[in-house]
Structure 1
Amino acid sequence: MKKVLVLFLTICLGIILGACGSSETAKNSEDTKKVDTNENKKSDSEKENENVQEDENLKGKDVYTNNKLNIDGTVGPMKYTIKSIQLKEMQPKNEQTASLLGVKVGDTVNAVTIEMSGENTSDDDVNFYLGQATIVTNTKEQLEPEMLISKHIEGEYLGKVKNEGANVYILKKSSVQDLKSIEIRIDAPTNNDFEPLGKEVKHTIKVNH
């Protein structure tokens, strides 16, 4: 059991920490192109290596990252921020990791990581489950977070506290390369009697642009 938990942690860190690195996207845009010189020009292979992470269990490639998303909002007594989003392609390198992800060794797993935080502005206890947010993609997939490889976001706010973490979603029928927009939906916060304290939260995030 301990070995399995270590494996879970390794995969989680490999996914999540990649999302907290550079704020640059893996795709080139007109705004980020620089004049080629002998000093600052990088080869395609060098650029490729900058976006790849690898350990004994998993190889990952960043396809798109936006660490300056910072979508802020308020619903009832809750403030929230959708901080960043990352699209990643991963290949498990051993049977244990492949089994955890539900694929074969060497298969490509397409993952979306969304980092969020919530803050209760009330003295009352509030439930607000960012860690259970659903996403709907332009490729017609509706996905729930993969709890074992997400960075847990506590849903109970006992007074004026702040919770944060990251959700990881695994695409089942499409590739992160095909994504153009992702709608995130979060249930309204509730009180201890599970009465809603506002409306459902919805935001659309544009990616791969």
Structure 2
Amino acid sequence: MKKTLSLTVAAIAAVTLLAGCGTDKTAIKDETPTQAKVESQPAKETSNAEPATTKEGAAPVEAEKKPDDIWTYYNDAKWSDTWNGVKSSIEKVVVTDRAPKKEDPNDFTASAVGGKFKIEYTTAVGVKFKIENTTKNLYTTYPDKAELVTSTGEQVQADMVISDHIGGEIEEGVIKDGIIFWFLKPGHASDIKWIKMKWYVTEGDGLGMNQKRKEYSVKLELK
């Protein structure tokens, strides 16, 4: 029952995140919300492993506050590249200090009126990916297994339970998009200045010895 509650809360948070795709950056619902930095003009997309940077001298703009939104949006943190007809792109980055922690047996406490759950929170990073195969050939990619490195000194694997399942084989003409999540140590969302991810795209099913492979290491500046 506890696991169901934790995953349900996380799923609701993910739905909230998806609903905010068309909005500006939104501050974390907290006593000391962070500020998301925006540009006076949209950021240009970068290719390969070059970081997507923000415009020098742009003044920070206070994020719009929504009572039911826990995320801070970095809609200008973009990146794209095309390799052998496979288009890979990152459309935005989000962070929060209010992501429900994974199941912990100690989170269940009893009271005089019955049992209740004690929900604890941690820091999370979400990145929206889009992968498109414009060719007639088969490719394989696993952005949902990407490793995340942060400016706060953390190096973690993506959470496969909460993240959208966009990895695996991608047939001709197929478009896969979704949000990948990483859980970090609690309380550092406002301190994250940049993130870096590593994943790959390979020809065919990725099992052949002679199949070509593209390794990605993408760094995105958030502040």
State the TM-score, normalizing by the size of structure 2.
0.68
Tell me, yes or no, if the aligned pair for 2:36 and 2:74 is still in contact at 8 Å.
Answer: no
The answer on 1:77 being equivalent to 2:92 is no
The answer on 1:32 being equivalent to 2:43 is no
Q: How many angstroms apart in 1 are the aligned matches of 2:149 and 2:137?
A: 32
Structure 1: which 5+ residue stretches go unaligned?
34-46, 54-59, 93-97
Q: Going by fraction, where is helix more abundant, 1 or 2?
A: 1
Q: How many angstroms apart in 1 are the aligned matches of 2:94 and 2:104?
A: 18
Change (3 A) 1:165 1:9: farther
What is the aligned partner in structure 1 of residue 218 from structure 2? 203
What's the offset of the Cα at 1:32? 3.1
Change (3 A) 1:52 1:85: farther
Change (3 A) 1:203 1:193: closer
Which consecutive segments of 4 or more residues in structure 1 shift more than 4 A? 3-7, 101-104
Q: How many angstroms apart in 1 are the aligned matches of 2:212 and 2:67?
A: 43
Change (3 A) 1:10 1:25: closer
What's the offset of the Cα at 1:91? 5.9
Q: How many angstroms apart in 1 are the aligned matches of 2:168 and 2:191?
A: 31
Tell me, yes or no, if the aligned pair for 2:70 and 2:98 is still in contact at 8 Å.
Answer: yes
State the TM-score, normalizing by the size of structure 1.
0.72
2:143 to 106, 126, 130: 130
Q: After superposing the two structures, state which structure 1 stretch, 98-107 or 188-197, moved more.
A: 98-107
What's the offset of the Cα at 1:8? 2.6
1:113 to 110, 126, 146: 126
Change (3 A) 1:19 1:110: farther
Tell me, yes or no, if the aligned pair for 2:3 and 2:103 is still in contact at 8 Å.
Answer: no
Tell me, yes or no, if the aligned pair for 1:129 and 1:154 is still in contact at 8 Å.
Answer: yes
Change (3 A) 1:101 1:14: farther
Change (3 A) 1:159 1:52: same
Tell me, yes or no, if the aligned pair for 1:9 and 1:149 is still in contact at 8 Å.
Answer: no
Counterpart residue type for residue 162 of structure 2: I
What is the aligned partner in structure 2 of residue 15 from structure 1? 14
What is the aligned partner in structure 2 of residue 61 from structure 1? 70
Q: Kindly, what percent of the aligned residue pairs are identical?
A: 22
Alignment RMSD: 3.1
Q: How many angstroms apart in 2 are the aligned matches of 1:162 and 1:16?
A: 20
